[in-house]
Amino acid sequence: MIDLHTHTNISDGTDSPAALIQKALAEKISVLAITDHDSTAGINEAIVTLLGSTSNMKLVPGAEISCQTENGTSVHILGLLFDLANTELQTVMANTRENRIGRMEKILARLRGAGIQIEMSDVLEQLADGATLGRPHLADALVKKGYFNSRDEVFSQILHNRSKYYVSHYSPKPHEAIALIKQAGGVAVIAHPLADRRGQVIDELDFQQLVSAGLDGIEVFHRDNNQSEQEQLIDFARKNQLAVTGSSDYHGNGKLNKLAEFVTAPEEWEKLEARANARRVIQR
Ligand code: AMP
Ligand code: FE
Ligand code: FE
Ligand code: ZN
């Protein structure tokens, strides 16, 4: 089982990197990518845990890069197998992480304006050391304070992208993120491509721009893509020689997504791995 998209508590997942590796080993996953939002800070702990085990599971270093198009649509690009020491890519991720703090202050001010008593310190309590701050941590803080029952409830009521409380943060354009990932020797896969514009057909132009920037794959098998969307995406991938991936987008207890609930076919993974400029899979 090959799962190319998972989160730890270095972003908005709830398992530590060590705990995620243990869980993946218990579930006999063969290839696991760790793709925290805008950060690779969990990879070292994952490597130490894997090398300390007796398993031959393959670990794929990665990150999920938050991006925004010209017209403000949020797009997530998975970077896999890039050089973790690449300064340009790490700098863009650091800028995004930094900007997420001011952005959170703005969301909190809007919520306080609506009578919700919530402070930055409440949100930071929900965060592991050095983790990428995001709306899920705010959701956890609001649940803890008794305003809501679950992350999902907070998102569907007040934290979704069209909410009046929504504020965006600095992020690169999708084609810029792809170019950075490629320059760092990695491969770029667009995550859950239709999640933010459900029901709309693929905007061929936007996608074509991503292909020109060097896109390597499309995450087709994901709970946010319905059957007809998956068919369209497969068609587009075949026409553009892109790999087709499937993955869980596991977030521990933060989302319903189960580890390896969707997986990538071995030949599609091989296609992707062959497109990185060095062998960066970690295996004992
Ligand atoms: P942010 O990066 O701060 O804009 O927050 C976006 C993150 O919120 C995404 O990475 C999702 O994993 C998470 N998210 C979005 N909707 C939900 C939901 N309904 N339940 C739990 N997490 C969600
Ligand atoms: Fe997330
Ligand atoms: Fe995502
Ligand atoms: Zn994700």
In tens, the pLDDT along 242-264 reads: 999 999 999 999 999 999 999 99
CA-angle at 47, arms to 11 and 83, nearest 5°? 75
What is the model's pLDDT at position 206?
A: 81
Q: Does residue 43 lie in a domain region?
A: yes
Q: Does residue 112 lie in a domain region?
A: no
* Whether the CB of 137 sits within 6 Å of ligand 1: no
Taking residue 156's Cβ as centre, other Cβ atoms within 10 Å add up to 12
Number of domains observed in the structure of the chain: 1
Query: Ligand 3: distance of its center to the CA of 6 in Å?
Result: 10
Distance CA 142, CA 122 (A): 8
Identify the segments of the chain with pLDDT beneath 50.
199
Q: Does residue 130 lie in a domain region?
A: no
What is the model's pLDDT at position 158?
A: 97
Q: Which of 123, 135, 168 most suits a substitution to test ligand 1, by most atoms within 8 Å of the C-beta?
A: 135
What are the backbone dihedrals phi and psi of residue 224, each rounded to the nearest 5 degrees, phi first?
-85, -10
Q: Does residue 236 lie in a domain region?
A: yes
What is the model's pLDDT at position 201?
A: 52
What tokens were used for 243?
């790999």
Residues 6+ apart with CB under 8 A from 214: 178, 179, 181, 182, 188
Q: Does residue 100 lie in a domain region?
A: no
Q: Does residue 89 lie in a domain region?
A: yes
Containing structural domain, residue 196: 2-94+169-275
Q: Does residue 141 lie in a domain region?
A: no
Give the residue among 4, 2, 19 at the shortest CA–CA distance from 252: 19
Q: Does residue 282 lie in a domain region?
A: no
What is the model's pLDDT at position 190?
A: 97
> Which protein residue has the closest C-alpha to ligand 1 atom 8?
136
What is the model's pLDDT at position 16?
A: 98
pLDDT in tens, 7-29: 999 999 999 999 999 999 999 99
* Whether the CB of 254 sits within 6 Å of ligand 1: yes
What is the model's pLDDT at position 199?
A: 47
CATH number of the domain where residue 244 is located: 3.20.20.140
